[in-house]
Amino acid sequence: MTKTDFIDYICRPYCMFFKEGEKEEMACLGARVAEALVEKSCFDTLALGVYEKDAVAWLNPKHDEILFQQVCHGCEFLSEDCEYRSEGPPEDTEPCGGLILLALLMANEIIDHTVLKGAHEPD
Ligand code: SF4
């Protein structure tokens, strides 16, 4: 699966930072983890794009802690570029689209923390 594919099911529907036609050098780890789960068939891909964006999913403290530890902690954007994980983020900021999709999958009990562990590492 290529980046073009995950733009369709991660960036375009979920990411507030996505700009049509803008080429990014690198994808955030949230998107790479979500893509890796798709490649490993960890959940039914029919679920992709079905879930409405809902802040309740990513603001769930238990899920947020898991997502921080298992995804954001290893993300290249964490230290400088990620507004959502910055100290004192703007009130209306959102995580990247990948993290949003992962949070929605957790909220809907499609995946749990065991699935996330090492998801972006090769088998
Ligand atoms: S929310 Fe920020 S730190 Fe976490 S995966 Fe997305 S871009 Fe990276």
Distance CA(21)–CA(60), nearest Å, equals 32
Q: Which pLDDT value is given to residue 46?
A: 72
List all residues whose CB is within 6 A of at least one atom of ligand 1: 28-30, 71-72, 75, 77-78, 82, 84-85, 95-96, 99
Q: What is the pLDDT of residue 60?
A: 96
Q: Work out which ligand 1 atom sits closest to the CA atom of 95.
A: 1
Give the model confidence (pLDDT) of 50-103 as tens digits. Answer: 889 999 999 999 999 999 999 999 999 999 889 999 999 999 999 999 999 999
Interacting residues of 70 by C-beta distance below 8 A, sequence separation 6+? 33, 113, 116, 117, 119
User: Domain-by-domain residue ranges, the chain?
Assistant: 3-116
What CA–CA distance (Å, rounded) separates 123 from 111?
Answer: 18
DSSP 10: I
Is the pTM of the predicted complex or chain greater than 0.75? yes
In ligand 1, which atom is closest to the CA atom of 29?
5
CA 77–ligand 1 middle distance (angstroms): 6
pLDDT in tens, 6-53: 888 888 999 998 988 877 767 889 999 998 998 888 877 777 778 899
DSSP 47: G
Distance 45 CA to ligand 1 centre (A): 22
Residue type, 29: L
Structure-token pair, residue 45:
């891909």
The atom of ligand 1 lying closest to the CA of 67 is 4
